[in-house]
Amino acid sequence: MKENLYNFILGIADNSLILGQRMGELCGHGPSLETDIACTNISLDLFGQVRSYFQYAAKIAGDGRTEDDIAMLRKEREYKNVLLVEQPNIDFAFTLGRQFLFDVYHLAFLSELQKSTDLTLSAIANKCIKEVSYHERFSSDWVRRLGDGTNESNQKIQEAINSLWTYTDELFHQTKADIAMVEQGIGVDVTKLKESYYMQVGQLLEEATLEIPESKWFQKGGKEGVHTEHLGYLLSDLQYMQRTYPNMEW
Amino acid sequence: MSTKNWPLWEIFVRSKNGLEHRHCGSLHAADADMALENARDVYTRRSEGVSIWVVESKNITASNPENNGELFEPAHDKVYRHPTFYDLPDEVKHM
């Protein structure tokens, strides 16, 4: 089995899986009918992307596991998503702030992944990039609106950005698998995306009349499977059916 | 939290090029840009459209149902105004 390629794919797919689950939690709970549908649309887009990645990963694993097994039956430490995407939906500003901080990265990542020498991955990236361009437009728009809105909305989105900021640096960390994949022309060198990420995010925050957080202390660990306390609860929701009724299908 | 609603918008979607925009419903949004994005998510998520128009509902002037008699009934007994006496070639669609 191509261990590095498998882990590299999980690193990408788990971000979309966990963020998709977070956005899906809003189904029926969004602040208005329109934003509720928008958030669950984003969730469905992400789950669709996840399927393509996990189908490919299952093929590489070649040990009889299916896309569902990979998505649903791993333990907490085996998920490779960044800490940012597992943070809870504290309020609407938090939800959209998290989405925005991830989308800017996600879009830049996918445009690089399109150039991958692995044809399956470049095809998936090519398909996902339109969806993610819309996510980025939607979440940037909301950060701008909330920041440049009322005093209350400005304060809420500022608090969200301040709390989430500590999770942004991890987006640009590399695992052993990431480095191996960059060397083979398959992966994306995320360290090269960092500068333009902070420039783009900073520009939008400025437009939104928000302060760019100055904290230089960052959390890390998600990519190595060391998560915040929130992931366990998320997984118990996500995995409930498969854990309670093993091999259940419908 | 404010309980005031966002203004109402009427949404028109063109299902494919060459056809006209059709009214498909309404939604709430703070401004025209947001109305477009909301319409995209609410009304075109199953690829129903290639183009969207949004119009704030208050900008539409509607006829009063009480006047239906004088407005519409006089047309009922004038069948000769319908072009039903022509044979349409099969190639003509969407008539």
Rg of chain A, C-alpha, whole Å: 18
Residue of B nearest to A137 (CA): B37
Distance (Å) of CA A158 to CA A106, A243, A245:
22, 39, 43
Instruction: For residue B17, report the phi and psi dihedrals to the nearest 5 degrees.
Output: -60, 140
**A41 shares contact with chain B (CB less than 8 Å):** yes
- Could you give the CA distance from residue A99 to residue A85 in angstroms, rounded to a whole number? 8
Kindly report, residue by residue over A143-152, the tens digit of the pLDDT. 999 999 999 9
Q: A215 burial class (0-12, 13-18, 19+ CB within 10 angstroms)?
A: exposed
Which of A34, A39, A144 to mutate: most B Cβ within 10 Å?
A34
Contact (Cβ atoms closer than 8 angstroms) between residue A143 and residue A96: yes
- Could you give the CA distance from residue A121 to residue A113 in angstroms, rounded to a whole number? 7
Per DSSP, the three-state class of A212 is: coil
Among the listed residues A230, A80, A243, the one whose alpha carbon sits nearest the alpha carbon of residue A164? A230
- Could you give the CA distance from residue B63 to residue A131 in angstroms, rounded to a whole number? 41
Kindly report, residue by residue over A186-215, the tens digit of the pLDDT. 999 999 999 999 999 999 999 999 999 998
Predicted pLDDT at A229 = 96
The verdict on ipTM greater than 0.95 is: no
**A151 shares contact with chain B (CB less than 8 Å):** no
The share of chain A scoring above pLDDT 70, in percent, equals: 100
Contact (Cβ atoms closer than 8 angstroms) between residue A16 and residue A50: yes
The share of chain A scoring above pLDDT 90, in percent, equals: 94
Measure A38 CA to nearest chain B CA, in Å: 5
Kindly report, residue by residue over A105-138, the tens digit of the pLDDT. 999 999 999 999 999 999 999 999 999 999 999 9
Instruction: List chain B residues with CB under 8 Å of A38.
Output: 37-38, 41
Binned at pLDDT 50, 70 and 90, residue B32 comes out as very high
Which of residues 1 through 20 in chain B touch A, CB cutoff 8 A? Answer: 6
- Computed over every residue of chain A, the mean pLDDT equals 96
Query: Is it the case that residue B3 has pLDDT exceeding 70?
Result: no
Residue of B nearest to A35 (CA): B38
pTM: 0.88
Residue of B nearest to A40 (CA): B41
Cα first-last separation, chain A: 30
Query: Is it the case that residue B1 has pLDDT exceeding 80?
Result: no
Kindly report, residue by residue over A23-76, the tens digit of the pLDDT. 999 999 988 899 999 999 999 999 999 999 999 999 999 999 999 999 999 999
Kindly report, residue by residue over B59-78, the tens digit of the pLDDT. 999 999 888 888 888 877 88
CB pair distance less than 8 Å for B45 and A138: no
Contacts of A208 (CB under 8 A, 6+ apart): A143, A144, A145, A146, A147, A148, A157
